[in-house]
Amino acid sequence: MLEIDLASKQHDESRQGEALILENKSTLPNQRKLYIESYGCAMNFSDSEIVASILSEQGFSTTDSYEEADVIFINTCSIRENAETRVRNRLKQFRAIKRENKNLVIGVLGCMAERLKAKFLEEEKLVDVVVGPDAYRDLPNLIAQVNDGHKAINVLLSREETYADLSPIRLNSNGISAYISIMRGCDNMCSFCVVPFTRGRERSRDPFSIIREAEELRDAGYKEVTLLGQNVDSYKWVPHPQSFSEGEGSAGELGESENKSAHVVLEGEAEKENNSDKKSAHNASLSFGEGRGEASLNFANLLEMVAAVSPDMRVRFSTSHPKDITNEVLETIAKHHNICNYIHLPVQSGSSRVLELMNRTYTREWYLDRIKAIREIIPTCTISSDIITGFCSETEEEHQETLSLMELVKFEFAYMYSYSERPGTPAAKKFADDVPEDVKQRRLEEIIELQQKNSRLRAQDRLGKVEQVLVEGLSKKSKTDYCGRSDHNHMVIFPVTEGVKPGDYVNVLIEKTTTATLIGRVV
Ligand code: SAH
Ligand code: SF4
Ligand code: F3S
pLDDT 10s digits, 185-214:
999 999 999 999 999 999 999 999 999 999
- Distance of alpha carbon 320 from its chain centroid, rounded? 11
pLDDT band at 288 (very low <50, low <70, confident <90, very high): low
3-class secondary structure per residue, 363-402: CHHHHHHHHHHHHHHCCCCEEEEEEEECCCCCCHHHHHHH
Is residue 103 predicted with pLDDT exceeding 50?
yes
485: which strand partners? 470, 491
Kindly report the number of other CB atoms within 10 A of residue 248's CB atom. 10
Fold of 466-522: OB fold (Dihydrolipoamide Acetyltransferase, E2P) (2.40.50)
Ligand 3 close to Cβ of residue 17 (< 6 A):
no
Is residue 471 predicted with pLDDT exceeding 60?
yes
Which atom in ligand 3 lies closest to the alpha carbon of residue 79? 4
3-class secondary structure per residue, 15-55: HHCCCEECCCCCCCCCCEEEEEEECCCHHHHHHHHHHHHHH
pLDDT score recorded for residue 295 = 72
Lowest mean pLDDT among 171-180, 188-197, 329-338, 491-500: 171-180
Pairing between β-strand 32-38 and β-strand 20-21 as defined by DSSP bridges: antiparallel
pLDDT score recorded for residue 28 = 52
Which atom in ligand 2 lies closest to the alpha carbon of residue 199? 6
3-class secondary structure per residue, 448-485: HHHHHHHHHHHHHCCCCCEEEEEEEEECCCCCCEEEEE
**Which of 164, 354, 315 minimizes the C-alpha distance to 232?**
315
Long-range Cβ contacts of 507-511 (<8 Å, 24+ apart): 507/466, 507/467, 507/468, 507/469, 508/466, 508/467, 508/468, 508/469, 509/464, 509/465, 509/466, 510/462, 510/463, 510/464, 510/465, 510/466, 510/467, 511/463, 511/464
Which atom in ligand 1 lies closest to the alpha carbon of residue 421? 22
The reply to whether 466-522 shares the fold of 20-154 is no
Q: What span, in angstroms and rounded, lies between the C-alpha atoms of 166 and 354? A: 41
Is residue 7 predicted with pLDDT exceeding 80?
no
Q: What span, in angstroms and rounded, lies between the C-alpha atoms of 8 and 412? A: 14
pLDDT score recorded for residue 102 = 87
CB 347 within 8 A of CB 322: yes
Ligand 3 close to Cβ of residue 109 (< 6 A):
no
CB 64 within 8 A of CB 35: yes
pLDDT score recorded for residue 148 = 94
Task: For the chain, give the mean pLDDT.
Answer: 87
Is residue 261 predicted with pLDDT exceeding 50?
no
pLDDT score recorded for residue 172 = 73
pLDDT score recorded for residue 447 = 98
User: What is the mean predicted confidence (pLDDT) over 405-422?
Assistant: 98
pLDDT score recorded for residue 272 = 36
Of all protein residues, the one whose alpha carbon is nearest to atom 1 of ligand 2 is 193
Which ligand is the nearest neighbour of the Cα of 47? 3
- The CATH architecture assigned to 341-461 reads 2-Layer Sandwich (3.30)
Give the 3-state secondary structure of residue 73.
strand
Pairing between β-strand 105-110 and β-strand 60-62 as defined by DSSP bridges: unpaired
Q: Is the pTM of this model over 0.85?
A: yes
Of all protein residues, the one whose alpha carbon is nearest to atom 5 of ligand 1 is 79
Distances (CA, A) of 167 to 47, 52, 72, 209, 457: 11, 10, 21, 10, 42
Which atom in ligand 1 lies closest to the alpha carbon of residue 14? 9
pLDDT score recorded for residue 173 = 85
Fold of 20-154: Rossmann fold (3.40.50)
Per cent of the chain over pLDDT 90 is: 80
Q: How far apart are the CA of 190 and the centre of ligand 2, in A?
A: 5
Of all protein residues, the one whose alpha carbon is nearest to atom 3 of ligand 1 is 230
Is residue 178 predicted with pLDDT exceeding 60?
yes
CB 205 within 8 A of CB 164: yes
- Where in the chain are the domains? 20-154, 173-318, 341-461, 466-522
